Amino acid sequence: MSERKKLAKASLESLYRIFTVPEAPDSTLGQIDRSISQNLAGFLQEHIVAAERDLADIERDFADPHIPEQPTFVSDQIQFVLDKLVAQSVHISAPSFVGHMTSALPYFMLPLSRIMMALNQNLVKVETSKAFTPMERQVIGMVHHLIYQQSDTFYQRWMHDRGHALGSFCSGGTIANLTALWAARNNVLAPRGDFAGLGQEGLLAGMQHYGYQGLAILVSERGHYSLGKAADILGIGRRSLIGIETDANNKIRTDLLARKCDELAKQNIKVMAIVGIVGTSETGNVDPLDEMADIAAERQIHFHVDSAWGGPTLFSDKYRSLLKGIERADSVTLDAHKQLYVPMGAGICVFRNPETLSSVEHHAEYIIRKGSKDLGSHTVEGSRPGMAILVHSGLQIIGRQGYELLIDQGIEKARSFAEMIKAEEDFELVTEPELNILTYRYLPADIQQALLAATEDSRIEANQRLNLLTKSIQKTQRGLGRSFVSRTRLNPVRYQRDPIVVFRAVLANPLTTTDILSDMLAEQREIAARPAMLAQLADVRALLGIG
Protein backbone atom coordinates (compact mmCIF):
# COMPACT_ATOMS: atom_id res chain seq x y z
CA MET A 1 0.00 0.00 0.00
CA SER A 2 1.36 3.40 -0.86
CA GLU A 3 2.00 5.84 1.97
CA ARG A 4 0.25 8.52 -0.01
CA LYS A 5 -2.98 6.66 0.53
CA LYS A 6 -2.33 6.18 4.19
CA LEU A 7 -3.58 9.41 5.61
CA ALA A 8 -4.94 11.41 2.72
CA LYS A 9 -7.53 12.95 4.96
CA ALA A 10 -8.47 12.51 8.54
CA SER A 11 -10.96 9.72 8.68
CA LEU A 12 -11.37 7.12 11.35
CA GLU A 13 -10.53 4.47 8.80
CA SER A 14 -7.25 6.16 7.86
CA LEU A 15 -6.44 6.61 11.55
CA TYR A 16 -7.03 2.93 12.28
CA ARG A 17 -4.63 2.21 9.47
CA ILE A 18 -1.73 4.13 11.00
CA PHE A 19 -2.27 2.08 14.16
CA THR A 20 -2.46 -1.27 12.39
CA VAL A 21 -0.65 -1.23 9.06
CA PRO A 22 3.15 -1.03 9.11
CA GLU A 23 5.16 1.14 6.77
CA ALA A 24 5.61 -0.57 3.42
CA PRO A 25 9.22 -1.70 2.92
CA ASP A 26 9.51 0.49 -0.19
CA SER A 27 8.10 3.59 1.52
CA THR A 28 10.44 6.44 2.41
CA LEU A 29 10.31 5.53 6.08
CA GLY A 30 10.70 1.83 5.35
CA GLN A 31 13.79 2.51 3.27
CA ILE A 32 15.37 4.74 5.89
CA ASP A 33 14.64 2.21 8.56
CA ARG A 34 16.41 -0.49 6.55
CA SER A 35 19.27 1.78 5.70
CA ILE A 36 19.86 2.64 9.38
CA SER A 37 19.80 -1.01 10.40
CA GLN A 38 22.14 -2.07 7.60
CA ASN A 39 24.61 0.77 7.65
CA LEU A 40 24.18 3.36 10.35
CA ALA A 41 27.52 5.08 9.76
CA GLY A 42 26.76 5.34 6.06
CA PHE A 43 23.29 6.74 6.72
CA LEU A 44 24.65 9.44 9.03
CA GLN A 45 27.52 10.21 6.68
CA GLU A 46 25.13 10.60 3.78
CA HIS A 47 22.41 12.58 5.51
CA ILE A 48 24.13 14.87 8.01
CA VAL A 49 25.41 17.89 6.13
CA ALA A 50 28.90 18.64 7.35
CA ALA A 51 29.00 22.39 6.91
CA GLU A 52 27.26 24.35 9.64
CA ARG A 53 24.22 26.40 8.80
CA ASP A 54 23.46 29.42 10.89
CA LEU A 55 20.98 28.64 13.65
CA ALA A 56 18.82 31.64 12.74
CA ASP A 57 18.58 30.20 9.25
CA ILE A 58 17.58 26.76 10.55
CA GLU A 59 14.95 28.36 12.76
CA ARG A 60 13.06 29.44 9.64
CA ASP A 61 12.15 25.80 9.06
CA PHE A 62 10.68 25.60 12.55
CA ALA A 63 8.93 28.94 12.79
CA ASP A 64 5.25 28.04 12.42
CA PRO A 65 3.42 27.79 15.77
CA HIS A 66 0.26 26.41 14.16
CA ILE A 67 -0.53 22.73 14.41
CA PRO A 68 -1.55 21.76 10.86
CA GLU A 69 -5.28 21.36 10.40
CA GLN A 70 -5.01 18.51 7.89
CA PRO A 71 -2.92 15.38 8.24
CA THR A 72 0.40 15.25 6.37
CA PHE A 73 1.51 12.20 4.42
CA VAL A 74 4.00 10.11 6.37
CA SER A 75 6.40 10.27 3.44
CA ASP A 76 6.23 14.07 3.28
CA GLN A 77 6.96 14.42 6.97
CA ILE A 78 9.83 11.94 6.75
CA GLN A 79 11.32 13.84 3.84
CA PHE A 80 11.08 16.98 5.95
CA VAL A 81 12.76 15.19 8.85
CA LEU A 82 15.58 14.06 6.56
CA ASP A 83 16.13 17.40 4.84
CA LYS A 84 15.60 19.79 7.69
CA LEU A 85 16.32 17.90 10.87
CA VAL A 86 18.66 14.98 10.22
CA ALA A 87 20.70 17.04 7.74
CA GLN A 88 21.22 19.74 10.37
CA SER A 89 21.74 17.51 13.38
CA VAL A 90 25.08 16.94 15.08
CA HIS A 91 27.16 13.92 14.12
CA ILE A 92 27.52 12.84 17.73
CA SER A 93 28.87 9.39 16.92
CA ALA A 94 31.60 10.55 14.54
CA PRO A 95 35.05 9.50 15.82
CA SER A 96 36.18 13.11 15.36
CA PHE A 97 33.42 14.42 17.64
CA VAL A 98 35.36 14.46 20.88
CA GLY A 99 33.79 17.56 22.40
CA HIS A 100 31.05 16.20 24.61
CA MET A 101 30.17 13.15 26.64
CA THR A 102 28.10 11.40 24.00
CA SER A 103 29.77 8.72 21.95
CA ALA A 104 28.96 6.18 19.26
CA LEU A 105 26.63 3.36 20.32
CA PRO A 106 27.02 -0.39 19.88
CA TYR A 107 24.83 -1.55 17.01
CA PHE A 108 22.65 -3.84 19.08
CA MET A 109 21.32 -0.84 21.02
CA LEU A 110 19.18 0.25 18.07
CA PRO A 111 17.09 -2.89 17.44
CA LEU A 112 16.86 -3.34 21.20
CA SER A 113 15.53 0.20 21.50
CA ARG A 114 12.84 -0.74 19.02
CA ILE A 115 11.82 -3.69 21.17
CA MET A 116 11.62 -1.29 24.12
CA MET A 117 9.56 1.24 22.15
CA ALA A 118 7.29 -1.48 20.76
CA LEU A 119 6.52 -2.82 24.24
CA ASN A 120 6.14 0.75 25.56
CA GLN A 121 6.14 -0.41 29.18
CA ASN A 122 5.71 2.17 31.93
CA LEU A 123 8.04 1.49 34.83
CA VAL A 124 6.11 3.53 37.37
CA LYS A 125 4.18 0.41 38.37
CA VAL A 126 4.15 -3.37 37.94
CA GLU A 127 0.74 -3.31 36.25
CA THR A 128 2.24 -1.56 33.24
CA SER A 129 5.67 -3.14 33.24
CA LYS A 130 5.55 -6.61 34.85
CA ALA A 131 8.95 -8.30 34.25
CA PHE A 132 10.52 -4.92 33.51
CA THR A 133 10.17 -4.06 37.20
CA PRO A 134 12.34 -6.92 38.53
CA MET A 135 14.69 -6.38 35.58
CA GLU A 136 15.17 -2.73 36.52
CA ARG A 137 15.63 -3.70 40.15
CA GLN A 138 18.34 -6.11 39.04
CA VAL A 139 20.09 -3.41 37.00
CA ILE A 140 20.03 -1.13 40.05
CA GLY A 141 21.33 -4.06 42.11
CA MET A 142 24.17 -4.70 39.64
CA VAL A 143 25.29 -1.07 39.74
CA HIS A 144 24.96 -1.19 43.54
CA HIS A 145 27.16 -4.28 43.59
CA LEU A 146 29.68 -2.69 41.21
CA ILE A 147 30.13 0.08 43.75
CA TYR A 148 29.41 -1.43 47.15
CA GLN A 149 30.26 -5.13 46.65
CA GLN A 150 27.82 -6.29 49.31
CA SER A 151 27.24 -9.98 50.01
CA ASP A 152 24.86 -12.20 48.05
CA THR A 153 22.68 -12.35 51.15
CA PHE A 154 22.39 -8.60 51.12
CA TYR A 155 21.03 -8.60 47.57
CA GLN A 156 18.74 -11.56 48.24
CA ARG A 157 17.30 -9.61 51.11
CA TRP A 158 16.96 -6.17 49.51
CA MET A 159 17.06 -6.19 45.72
CA HIS A 160 13.41 -7.14 45.24
CA ASP A 161 12.10 -6.04 48.62
CA ARG A 162 8.67 -4.45 48.32
CA GLY A 163 9.28 -1.86 51.02
CA HIS A 164 12.65 -0.62 49.80
CA ALA A 165 14.68 0.46 46.81
CA LEU A 166 18.47 0.23 46.51
CA GLY A 167 18.36 3.07 44.08
CA SER A 168 16.44 4.93 41.47
CA PHE A 169 16.59 4.63 37.70
CA CYS A 170 15.90 7.95 35.99
CA SER A 171 16.33 10.02 32.86
CA GLY A 172 19.85 11.18 33.66
CA GLY A 173 22.49 12.33 36.10
CA THR A 174 20.70 15.57 36.94
CA ILE A 175 17.65 13.74 38.26
CA ALA A 176 19.94 11.17 39.90
CA ASN A 177 21.77 13.92 41.81
CA LEU A 178 18.46 15.54 42.70
CA THR A 179 17.15 12.20 44.00
CA ALA A 180 20.22 11.69 46.20
CA LEU A 181 20.11 15.21 47.62
CA TRP A 182 16.34 15.02 48.14
CA ALA A 183 16.81 11.87 50.22
CA ALA A 184 19.74 13.43 52.09
CA ARG A 185 17.77 16.60 52.88
CA ASN A 186 14.76 14.64 54.12
CA ASN A 187 16.95 12.45 56.31
CA VAL A 188 18.57 15.50 57.89
CA LEU A 189 15.15 16.86 58.83
CA ALA A 190 13.59 13.45 59.51
CA PRO A 191 10.47 12.80 61.59
CA ARG A 192 11.21 13.18 65.32
CA GLY A 193 8.78 13.47 68.20
CA ASP A 194 5.79 15.48 67.09
CA PHE A 195 7.59 16.62 63.94
CA ALA A 196 6.38 14.55 60.99
CA GLY A 197 9.45 15.23 58.86
CA LEU A 198 10.36 17.75 56.20
CA GLY A 199 8.57 15.78 53.50
CA GLN A 200 5.30 16.35 55.33
CA GLU A 201 5.82 19.63 57.12
CA GLY A 202 8.24 21.50 54.89
CA LEU A 203 11.66 23.03 55.19
CA LEU A 204 10.68 25.92 57.43
CA ALA A 205 9.06 23.72 60.08
CA GLY A 206 12.01 21.34 59.87
CA MET A 207 14.59 24.05 60.45
CA GLN A 208 12.58 25.38 63.37
CA HIS A 209 12.16 21.94 64.90
CA TYR A 210 15.84 21.09 64.62
CA GLY A 211 16.94 24.63 65.41
CA TYR A 212 19.26 25.01 62.42
CA GLN A 213 20.13 28.40 60.97
CA GLY A 214 20.54 26.97 57.49
CA LEU A 215 21.42 23.93 55.38
CA ALA A 216 24.42 23.61 53.10
CA ILE A 217 25.86 21.30 50.46
CA LEU A 218 29.62 21.23 49.96
CA VAL A 219 31.31 20.31 46.69
CA SER A 220 34.45 21.36 44.88
CA GLU A 221 34.30 24.41 42.62
CA ARG A 222 34.29 21.91 39.72
CA GLY A 223 30.87 20.52 40.76
CA HIS A 224 28.33 19.91 38.02
CA TYR A 225 25.70 22.59 37.36
CA SER A 226 22.96 20.11 38.26
CA LEU A 227 23.95 20.52 41.92
CA GLY A 228 23.18 24.24 41.87
CA LYS A 229 19.87 23.46 40.23
CA ALA A 230 19.14 20.86 42.90
CA ALA A 231 19.97 23.38 45.64
CA ASP A 232 17.48 25.77 44.05
CA ILE A 233 14.73 23.16 43.53
CA LEU A 234 15.13 21.69 47.02
CA GLY A 235 14.72 25.13 48.57
CA ILE A 236 18.23 25.32 50.00
CA GLY A 237 19.25 28.08 47.61
CA ARG A 238 22.21 28.21 45.28
CA ARG A 239 24.30 30.18 47.75
CA SER A 240 24.10 27.27 50.16
CA LEU A 241 25.84 25.08 47.62
CA ILE A 242 29.33 26.00 48.72
CA GLY A 243 32.15 25.53 46.23
CA ILE A 244 35.42 24.48 47.86
CA GLU A 245 38.63 25.46 46.15
CA THR A 246 40.50 22.81 44.19
CA ASP A 247 44.21 22.11 44.03
CA ALA A 248 46.34 22.42 40.90
CA ASN A 249 44.88 19.10 39.72
CA ASN A 250 41.25 20.18 40.02
CA LYS A 251 40.68 18.01 43.09
CA ILE A 252 38.89 19.34 46.12
CA ARG A 253 41.17 20.61 48.88
CA THR A 254 40.12 18.43 51.77
CA ASP A 255 41.79 20.72 54.31
CA LEU A 256 39.50 23.54 53.21
CA LEU A 257 36.53 21.17 53.09
CA ALA A 258 37.04 20.09 56.71
CA ARG A 259 37.57 23.67 57.81
CA LYS A 260 34.38 24.83 56.08
CA CYS A 261 32.40 22.01 57.73
CA ASP A 262 33.58 23.16 61.12
CA GLU A 263 32.93 26.83 60.39
CA LEU A 264 29.37 26.04 59.34
CA ALA A 265 28.82 23.86 62.41
CA LYS A 266 29.79 26.83 64.56
CA GLN A 267 27.23 28.95 62.73
CA ASN A 268 24.66 26.26 63.38
CA ILE A 269 24.34 25.58 59.65
CA LYS A 270 23.77 21.90 59.03
CA VAL A 271 25.74 20.39 56.14
CA MET A 272 23.18 18.09 54.51
CA ALA A 273 25.63 16.58 52.04
CA ILE A 274 29.24 16.58 50.92
CA VAL A 275 29.58 15.74 47.24
CA GLY A 276 32.64 14.07 45.74
CA ILE A 277 33.22 13.98 42.00
CA VAL A 278 34.49 11.14 39.84
CA GLY A 279 35.31 12.73 36.52
CA THR A 280 34.57 16.45 36.69
CA SER A 281 32.67 17.55 33.60
CA GLU A 282 35.33 20.00 32.56
CA THR A 283 38.60 18.28 33.38
CA GLY A 284 37.74 14.67 34.20
CA ASN A 285 39.45 14.69 37.59
CA VAL A 286 38.62 12.52 40.58
CA ASP A 287 38.26 13.90 44.10
CA PRO A 288 40.11 12.18 46.99
CA LEU A 289 37.05 10.17 47.97
CA ASP A 290 38.58 8.30 50.89
CA GLU A 291 39.59 11.51 52.65
CA MET A 292 36.21 13.04 51.92
CA ALA A 293 34.53 9.94 53.34
CA ASP A 294 36.57 10.39 56.53
CA ILE A 295 35.46 14.01 56.86
CA ALA A 296 31.83 13.07 56.25
CA ALA A 297 31.93 10.07 58.61
CA GLU A 298 33.48 12.03 61.49
CA ARG A 299 30.68 14.57 61.24
CA GLN A 300 27.88 12.18 60.28
CA ILE A 301 27.21 13.97 57.01
CA HIS A 302 25.62 12.32 53.96
CA PHE A 303 28.42 11.62 51.45
CA HIS A 304 27.24 11.67 47.85
CA VAL A 305 29.48 10.82 44.92
CA ASP A 306 28.65 12.20 41.49
CA SER A 307 30.29 9.66 39.19
CA ALA A 308 27.89 10.32 36.33
CA TRP A 309 30.90 10.33 34.04
CA GLY A 310 33.63 8.35 35.75
CA GLY A 311 31.71 5.61 37.59
CA PRO A 312 32.37 2.94 34.95
CA THR A 313 36.10 3.31 35.66
CA LEU A 314 35.29 0.72 38.33
CA PHE A 315 35.23 -1.85 35.52
CA SER A 316 38.95 -1.39 35.06
CA ASP A 317 41.38 -3.46 37.14
CA LYS A 318 44.06 -0.97 36.23
CA TYR A 319 42.33 2.30 37.10
CA ARG A 320 39.71 1.27 39.68
CA SER A 321 41.94 2.35 42.54
CA LEU A 322 41.51 6.00 41.48
CA LEU A 323 37.99 5.73 42.90
CA LYS A 324 39.04 4.32 46.27
CA GLY A 325 36.53 5.42 48.89
CA ILE A 326 33.50 5.42 46.59
CA GLU A 327 32.31 2.31 48.44
CA ARG A 328 31.93 4.50 51.54
CA ALA A 329 29.53 6.93 49.83
CA ASP A 330 25.95 7.05 51.06
CA SER A 331 24.77 7.56 47.48
CA VAL A 332 26.32 7.43 44.04
CA THR A 333 25.16 8.79 40.67
CA LEU A 334 26.12 7.00 37.45
CA ASP A 335 24.94 7.81 33.93
CA ALA A 336 24.29 4.84 31.69
CA HIS A 337 23.97 7.10 28.66
CA LYS A 338 27.58 8.13 29.08
CA GLN A 339 30.17 5.41 29.62
CA LEU A 340 27.78 2.45 29.58
CA TYR A 341 27.16 3.35 25.92
CA VAL A 342 23.37 3.42 26.16
CA PRO A 343 21.27 5.95 24.19
CA MET A 344 20.32 9.28 25.82
CA GLY A 345 17.97 9.14 28.80
CA ALA A 346 19.37 6.69 31.35
CA GLY A 347 20.72 7.70 34.75
CA ILE A 348 21.00 5.77 37.99
CA CYS A 349 21.43 6.69 41.62
CA VAL A 350 22.21 3.98 44.17
CA PHE A 351 22.24 4.10 47.96
CA ARG A 352 24.51 2.06 50.21
CA ASN A 353 21.88 1.71 52.91
CA PRO A 354 18.50 0.32 51.77
CA GLU A 355 16.76 2.66 54.23
CA THR A 356 18.16 5.94 52.91
CA LEU A 357 15.75 6.35 50.01
CA SER A 358 12.77 5.60 52.26
CA SER A 359 12.81 9.24 53.30
CA VAL A 360 11.23 10.15 49.96
CA GLU A 361 8.80 7.23 49.69
CA HIS A 362 5.32 8.11 48.47
CA HIS A 363 2.10 6.34 47.49
CA ALA A 364 -1.19 6.92 45.71
CA GLU A 365 -4.53 5.16 45.56
CA TYR A 366 -4.62 3.86 42.04
CA ILE A 367 -0.93 3.05 41.60
CA ILE A 368 2.29 2.68 43.64
CA ARG A 369 0.15 1.46 46.53
CA LYS A 370 1.74 0.63 49.86
CA GLY A 371 3.13 -2.89 49.82
CA SER A 372 3.36 -3.00 46.04
CA LYS A 373 6.69 -3.46 44.30
CA ASP A 374 5.97 -0.49 42.06
CA LEU A 375 9.17 1.39 41.38
CA GLY A 376 7.32 4.70 41.23
CA SER A 377 7.24 4.94 45.01
CA HIS A 378 10.91 5.95 45.17
CA THR A 379 11.47 8.04 42.04
CA VAL A 380 11.39 11.75 41.25
CA GLU A 381 9.76 10.94 37.92
CA GLY A 382 6.38 9.27 37.47
CA SER A 383 5.75 7.42 34.19
CA ARG A 384 9.07 6.27 32.73
CA PRO A 385 10.18 4.14 29.78
CA GLY A 386 11.92 0.78 30.10
CA MET A 387 15.42 2.09 29.33
CA ALA A 388 16.81 -0.35 31.89
CA ILE A 389 16.52 -3.08 29.24
CA LEU A 390 19.32 -1.34 27.34
CA VAL A 391 21.54 -1.15 30.41
CA HIS A 392 20.80 -4.79 31.23
CA SER A 393 21.75 -5.83 27.71
CA GLY A 394 24.86 -3.66 27.67
CA LEU A 395 26.08 -5.20 30.91
CA GLN A 396 25.43 -8.71 29.62
CA ILE A 397 26.69 -8.36 26.06
CA ILE A 398 29.74 -6.23 26.77
CA GLY A 399 30.46 -7.66 30.21
CA ARG A 400 32.88 -6.40 32.83
CA GLN A 401 35.87 -7.20 30.64
CA GLY A 402 34.40 -5.45 27.63
CA TYR A 403 33.71 -2.28 29.57
CA GLU A 404 37.18 -2.51 31.04
CA LEU A 405 38.67 -2.43 27.56
CA LEU A 406 36.51 0.55 26.63
CA ILE A 407 37.56 2.45 29.74
CA ASP A 408 41.24 1.57 29.43
CA GLN A 409 41.50 2.50 25.77
CA GLY A 410 39.87 5.88 26.49
CA ILE A 411 42.26 6.74 29.30
CA GLU A 412 45.26 5.57 27.33
CA LYS A 413 44.18 7.47 24.24
CA ALA A 414 43.81 10.61 26.34
CA ARG A 415 47.33 10.12 27.63
CA SER A 416 48.67 9.69 24.11
CA PHE A 417 46.81 12.80 23.04
CA ALA A 418 48.30 14.71 25.97
CA GLU A 419 51.77 13.61 24.89
CA MET A 420 51.01 14.74 21.33
CA ILE A 421 49.93 18.17 22.57
CA LYS A 422 52.98 18.55 24.78
CA ALA A 423 55.22 17.63 21.89
CA GLU A 424 53.72 20.39 19.73
CA GLU A 425 55.43 23.77 19.85
CA ASP A 426 52.25 25.78 19.52
CA PHE A 427 49.81 24.07 21.87
CA GLU A 428 49.58 24.16 25.62
CA LEU A 429 48.18 21.27 27.63
CA VAL A 430 46.18 22.97 30.36
CA THR A 431 44.97 19.94 32.33
CA GLU A 432 46.51 16.47 32.20
CA PRO A 433 44.03 13.62 31.70
CA GLU A 434 43.45 11.67 34.88
CA LEU A 435 40.60 9.78 33.21
CA ASN A 436 39.80 10.37 29.53
CA ILE A 437 39.25 14.14 29.49
CA LEU A 438 41.89 16.79 28.92
CA THR A 439 41.99 20.50 28.13
CA TYR A 440 44.43 22.50 26.05
CA ARG A 441 44.70 25.61 23.96
CA TYR A 442 46.51 26.97 20.93
CA LEU A 443 49.47 28.90 22.29
CA PRO A 444 52.74 29.31 20.36
CA ALA A 445 55.83 28.64 22.46
CA ASP A 446 57.13 32.20 22.42
CA ILE A 447 53.86 33.55 23.82
CA GLN A 448 53.81 30.78 26.38
CA GLN A 449 57.22 31.78 27.69
CA ALA A 450 56.47 35.48 27.65
CA LEU A 451 53.19 34.93 29.51
CA LEU A 452 54.90 33.23 32.42
CA ALA A 453 57.42 36.07 32.68
CA ALA A 454 54.91 38.89 32.17
CA THR A 455 53.64 41.41 34.72
CA GLU A 456 50.27 40.64 36.24
CA ASP A 457 48.43 43.27 34.19
CA SER A 458 49.93 42.17 30.89
CA ARG A 459 49.35 38.51 31.69
CA ILE A 460 45.69 39.11 32.51
CA GLU A 461 45.19 41.21 29.42
CA ALA A 462 47.03 38.73 27.18
CA ASN A 463 45.01 35.82 28.52
CA GLN A 464 41.79 37.71 27.88
CA ARG A 465 42.79 38.21 24.26
CA LEU A 466 43.91 34.61 23.95
CA ASN A 467 40.51 33.56 25.28
CA LEU A 468 38.84 35.32 22.35
CA LEU A 469 41.21 33.53 20.00
CA THR A 470 40.49 30.12 21.52
CA LYS A 471 36.76 30.78 21.20
CA SER A 472 37.15 31.77 17.55
CA ILE A 473 39.20 28.70 16.71
CA GLN A 474 36.69 26.42 18.45
CA LYS A 475 33.70 27.98 16.71
CA THR A 476 35.40 27.99 13.33
CA GLN A 477 36.37 24.33 13.65
CA ARG A 478 32.85 23.39 14.72
CA GLY A 479 31.49 25.28 11.72
CA LEU A 480 33.75 23.41 9.30
CA GLY A 481 32.11 20.23 10.55
CA ARG A 482 35.03 17.83 10.24
CA SER A 483 35.77 17.58 13.93
CA PHE A 484 34.58 19.01 17.18
CA VAL A 485 36.08 19.86 20.56
CA SER A 486 34.10 21.79 23.12
CA ARG A 487 35.40 24.68 25.16
CA THR A 488 35.17 25.77 28.75
CA ARG A 489 36.75 28.27 31.12
CA LEU A 490 39.16 27.25 33.87
CA ASN A 491 41.22 29.12 36.46
CA PRO A 492 44.56 27.35 36.38
CA VAL A 493 47.03 27.81 39.22
CA ARG A 494 49.76 28.23 36.59
CA TYR A 495 48.25 31.59 35.65
CA GLN A 496 47.40 32.73 39.18
CA ARG A 497 43.82 31.62 38.53
CA ASP A 498 43.20 33.96 35.59
CA PRO A 499 40.14 32.74 33.68
CA ILE A 500 41.48 30.74 30.74
CA VAL A 501 39.30 29.51 27.88
CA VAL A 502 40.40 26.04 26.78
CA PHE A 503 39.52 23.33 24.31
CA ARG A 504 38.03 20.31 26.05
CA ALA A 505 38.44 16.84 24.56
CA VAL A 506 36.48 13.81 25.80
CA LEU A 507 37.93 10.53 24.53
CA ALA A 508 35.23 7.92 24.97
CA ASN A 509 34.46 6.88 21.42
CA PRO A 510 36.42 3.67 20.76
CA LEU A 511 36.55 4.54 17.07
CA THR A 512 38.57 7.71 17.64
CA THR A 513 42.16 7.10 16.51
CA THR A 514 45.34 9.04 17.23
CA ASP A 515 45.44 9.92 13.53
CA ILE A 516 42.09 11.63 13.90
CA LEU A 517 43.39 13.55 16.90
CA SER A 518 46.50 14.52 15.04
CA ASP A 519 44.40 15.82 12.12
CA MET A 520 42.32 17.77 14.59
CA LEU A 521 45.39 19.58 15.92
CA ALA A 522 46.54 20.24 12.37
CA GLU A 523 43.18 21.79 11.53
CA GLN A 524 43.32 24.00 14.62
CA ARG A 525 46.80 25.14 13.60
CA GLU A 526 45.52 25.92 10.10
CA ILE A 527 42.64 27.94 11.50
CA ALA A 528 45.05 29.83 13.74
CA ALA A 529 47.04 30.73 10.65
CA ARG A 530 44.12 32.59 9.07
CA PRO A 531 44.80 36.34 8.74
CA ALA A 532 42.22 37.40 11.37
CA MET A 533 43.67 34.99 13.90
CA LEU A 534 47.25 35.94 13.08
CA ALA A 535 46.35 39.56 13.73
CA GLN A 536 45.03 38.63 17.17
CA LEU A 537 48.22 36.73 17.92
CA ALA A 538 50.30 39.71 16.79
CA ASP A 539 48.38 41.90 19.24
CA VAL A 540 49.12 39.51 22.07
CA ARG A 541 52.81 39.44 21.15
CA ALA A 542 52.93 43.22 21.05
CA LEU A 543 51.27 43.39 24.45
CA LEU A 544 53.85 41.02 25.89
CA GLY A 545 56.70 42.91 24.24
CA ILE A 546 57.75 40.07 21.97
CA GLY A 547 56.23 41.56 18.79
CB of 294 to a second copy, least distance (A): 28
Residues in contact with 252: Cβ distance below 8 Å, sequence separation at least 6, in sequence order: 219, 220, 222, 244, 245, 246, 276, 277, 287, 288, 292
Q: Are 258 and 295 in contact (CB under 8 A)?
A: yes
Binder among 190, 191, 210, 229 for a second copy (CB under 8 A)? 229
Is there binding between residue 104 and a second copy (CB under 8 A)? yes
CB of 94 to a second copy, least distance (A): 11
Q: Are 167 and 334 in contact (CB under 8 A)?
A: no
Q: Are 435 and 283 in contact (CB under 8 A)?
A: no
The per-residue DSSP string of 284-326 comes to --B--HHHHHHHHHHTT--EEEE-TTTGGGGG-TTTGGGGTTG
Binder among 219, 274, 277, 282 for a second copy (CB under 8 A)? 282
Rounded Cα distance, 345 and 202, in Å: 30
Contacts (CB under 8 A) with a second copy, residues 386-425: 386, 389, 393, 395-402, 404-406, 409
Sheet of 269-277: strands edge to edge? Answer: 167-170, 347-351, 331-335, 303-306, 269-277, 214-220, 241-244
Rounded Cα distance, 305 and 351, in Å: 10
Q: Are 102 and 28 in contact (CB under 8 A)?
A: no
Rounded Cα distance, 162 and 298, in Å: 33
Contacts (CB under 8 A) with a second copy, residues 8-47: 9-12, 14-16, 18-23, 25, 29-30, 32-33, 36-41, 43-44
Rounded Cα distance, 153 and 475, in Å: 54
Is there binding between residue 113 and a second copy (CB under 8 A)? yes
Binder among 26, 46, 232, 255 for a second copy (CB under 8 A)? 232
Contacts (CB under 8 A) with a second copy, residues 305-324: none
Is there binding between residue 327 and a second copy (CB under 8 A)? no
Is there binding between residue 1 and a second copy (CB under 8 A)? no
Is there binding between residue 470 and a second copy (CB under 8 A)? no
Is there binding between residue 196 and a second copy (CB under 8 A)? yes
Selected range binding a second copy among 191-199, 270-278, 427-435, 447-455, rule: CB under 8 A: 191-199
Among candidate residues 294, 316, 329, the one with its CA nearest the CA of residue 307: 329
Q: Which is nearer to a second copy, 254 or 316 (CB)?
A: 316
The conformation of residue 546, written as its DSSP 8-state character, comes to -
Is there binding between residue 382 and a second copy (CB under 8 A)? yes
Is there binding between residue 352 and a second copy (CB under 8 A)? no
CB of 450 to a second copy, least distance (A): 27
Binder among 366, 371, 531, 535 for a second copy (CB under 8 A)? 366
CB of 254 to a second copy, least distance (A): 24
Rounded Cα distance, 101 and 98, in Å: 8
Query: Contact letters (x/-) for a second copy, 500-519, by CB under 8 A?
Result: ----x-----xx--------
The per-residue DSSP string of 497-534 comes to T--EEEEEEE---TT--HHHHHHHHHHHHHHHTSHHHH
Q: Which is nearer to a second copy, 208 or 449 (CB)?
A: 208
Query: Contact letters (x/-) for a second copy, 197-226, by CB under 8 A?
Result: -xxxxxxxx-x------xx---------xx
Binder among 72, 268, 449, 514 for a second copy (CB under 8 A)? 72
